[in-house]
Chain A
Amino acid sequence: SAVISQKPSRDICQRGTSLTIQCQVDSQVTMMFWYRQQPGQSLTLIATANQGSEATYESGFVIDKFPISRPNLTFSTLTVSNMSPEDSSIYLCSVRDLRTDTQYFGPGTRLTVL
């Protein structure tokens, strides 16, 4: 199974600043995604991180607010830009193992915006 790590695990940030979250996978994976889980809510897909090209964003999410990088098949970053308290959420990196057809989630980054 894929082992995913995320940094930071949690952070408290001031309104108007930006935070970059890192996701590292212990093996090469084709499919990598970023999800958001607001307090007490379900998971919502932000975007698919594409290796070597621009991320594919879901409705309601834009690149200017959530720029994503994926320089290789094991690493991705998500930046939450110009943060407001409404961005307080858990941000989760996820990968799909095509060999086992299983999806794995990282431990998440718990973000609080004051």
Chain B
Amino acid sequence: GQQVMQIPQYQHVQEGEDFTTYCNSSTTLSNIQWYKQRPGGHPVFLIQLVKSGEVKKQKRLTFQFGEAKKNSSLHITATQTTDVGTYFCAGPYNQGGKLIFGQGTELSVKP
């Protein structure tokens, strides 16, 4: 069946360092979404990418959708302690708004 894989599972960085998480789908996606879950919190929608090769930025966060629409990445420049949490990518499957989530990348930032 359709799978969404995400690496790395964990990333520990020093504050100020950059961070990247990668997402790969076994099938072509119509769109890909990114979520952030703070420790003890619930997933919060960050962004949706739709177009092949699309790049979107939110302050220090840069999101990219691959040309083949099967992979995506999230890059954070100069991490801060407020960036701590788990970042999930998710893609739609079948129809009806259902999402399949990657395993998530847990980011910890050492001040």
Contacts and interface: CB of A to CB of B under 8 A. Distances in A.
Task: State whether these chains interact.
Answer: yes
Interface of A: 31, 33, 41-45, 48, 56, 58, 90, 92, 96, 98, 101-108
B88 A33 contact: no
Contact of B104 (A33, A42, A101): A42
Given A103-B99, A105-B43, A107-B42, A43 B88 contact: yes
Given A43-B90, A96-B97, 8 more contacts: A31-B97, A42-B102, A42-B103, A43-B99, A44-B101, A92-B42, A98-B97, A101-B48
Grouping DSSP codes into helix (H, G, I), strand (E, B) and loop, the A interface class, with mixed when no group exceeds half, is strand
Contacts, number: 46
Contacts of A33: 97-98
B44 A105 contact: yes
Contacts of A107: 41-42
Contacts of B96: 31, 48, 56
B98 A48 contact: yes
A43 B86 CA distance: 12
Nearest to A106: B42
B42 to A, nearest CB: 5
Contacts of A56: 96
B99 A42 contact: no
